[in-house]
A = this chain, B = another copy of it.
Amino acid sequence: MSKMSMVQALNNALDMMMAENEKVYCLGEDIGWMGGDFGVTRGLYDKYGSERMRDTPLSESAIIGAAVGSAMVGMRPVAEIMFADFMGVCYDQLVNNAAKVHYMFDGQYKAPIVVRSACGGGFGGGPHHSQMIEGWFMNVPGMVIVAPSTPEDAKGLLIASIEDDNPILFLEHKALYSKKGEVPEGKYITPLRKARIAREGSDVTIVADTWMAHKSLAAAQMLAGEDISAEVIDLRTLRPWDQETVLDSVRKTRRAVVVSESPGTGGLSADVSAVIAEQAFGDLKAAVKRVTALDTPIPFSVKLEKIILPGEEDIIRAAQQVYKHS
């Protein structure tokens, strides 16, 4: 174990996988010599060279296209899209090709790509540098979406993603890049499609992801002071998400709050809320409550952004409400 930031943990995972398997290579804008906009690939260029640490032009479609094509002939590309907001530009490549290659050719080809990208708001990045974009892909069969919230999981999930044979969007929250945590040495895997119970509790289940998992834990701490015992679940894989762990928890606590940094209309939070209400209908003591971003783009002003993004207090209030109204 050693203490490191999520950036370091991700770097460690990439380094390990590139050392182990020469089919693994990285491509993206400024990921080579510079080491990436957030430093995740720092040092790898010196170690693995320009062939395996490929600087690309600003061509997101070509980045994903090249990743998918090379994966179809046996490579294991790790592509970086600098900010997740830019995935709009290569959306077709992800949705109509990467996600469908395996199915439409009935299993002949596969597209084991990992697309790393920095997501999320809270730093005044404005409307095109702050979005959570899992909602863009939730309704897309064939796609897998992974989003770590701790350095330990970041390393384990990235290794698992590179080894997995499906196309994976790997979302790294900017607010968590420099947050430190204990990370095991050596190679290990954090399983995909398996949520993490970040905190056990008995009165209400809070389902969250990435940054919001942290806010939810803080909220749970406060709730404990009011004798509300909250169980916090960090989804880790957002599509397909771990229904079993969530439903088991809700059947125990009989109350659920779903927290998401994305807008409340459509998207992940709606899916989680719907599945809970559909599958655990008889067990629920109160309606599921969602705590999400407001239905707006993300404003530049940090003050305004704070208003539209969900906060700790919003989670606390929601948990209190489901607890008291039942």
Q: Does A50 interact with chain B (Cβ within 8 Å)?
A: no
Q: Which of B86, B239, B265, B287 contacts A265 (CB 8 A)?
A: B239
Known A-B contacts A103-B127, A290-B278; the reply to A265 vs B139 at CB < 8 A is: yes
> Closest Cβ of chain B: how far from A52's Cβ, in Å?
29
Question: Does A74 sit at the interface, judged by CB under 8 A?
Answer: no
* Copies in the assembly, this chain: 2
A295 within 8 A of B: yes
Task: Say whether A218 faces chain B, with CB atoms less than 8 Å apart.
Answer: no
In the complex, the chain B residue whose C-beta lies closest to that of A292 is B139
Q: Which of B127, B267, B289 contacts A138 (CB 8 A)?
A: B267
Those of A233-283 within 8 Å (CB) of chain B: 239-240, 262-263, 265-271, 273-275, 277-279, 281-282
- Whether A96 lies near B88 (C-beta < 8 A) is yes
Inter-subunit contact A278/B288 (CB<8 Å): yes
A115 to B93, CA, bound (A): 21
Of the candidates B96, B138, B275, B279, the one whose C-beta lies within 8 Å of that of A85 is: B96
Query: Is B277 a contact of A288 with CB atoms below 8 Å?
Result: yes
Contact at B267–A278, with CB atoms within 8 Å? Answer: no
Known: A88-B92, A91-B88, A295-B141. A266 touches B273 (CB 8 A): no
Distance from A100 Cβ to chain B, minimum over Cβ atoms (Å): 4
Whether A141 contacts B239 in the complex (CB less than 8 A), given A99-B297, A274-B290, comes out as: no
Measured CB to CB, the closest approach of chain B to A227, in angstroms, equals 24
Shortest C-beta distance, A120 to chain B (Å), equals 14
Q: Does A65 contact B (CB under 8 A)?
A: no
A95 at interface, CB cutoff 8 A: yes
- In the assembled complex, the CB of A322 is this many whole angstroms from the nearest CB of chain B, namely 10
Q: Residues of B contacting A148 with CB < 8 Å?
A: none
State how many angstroms separate the Cβ of A121 from the closest Cβ of chain B. 13
By Cβ-Cβ distance, the 3 closest A-B pairs, closest first, are A138-B266, A135-B139, A88-B92
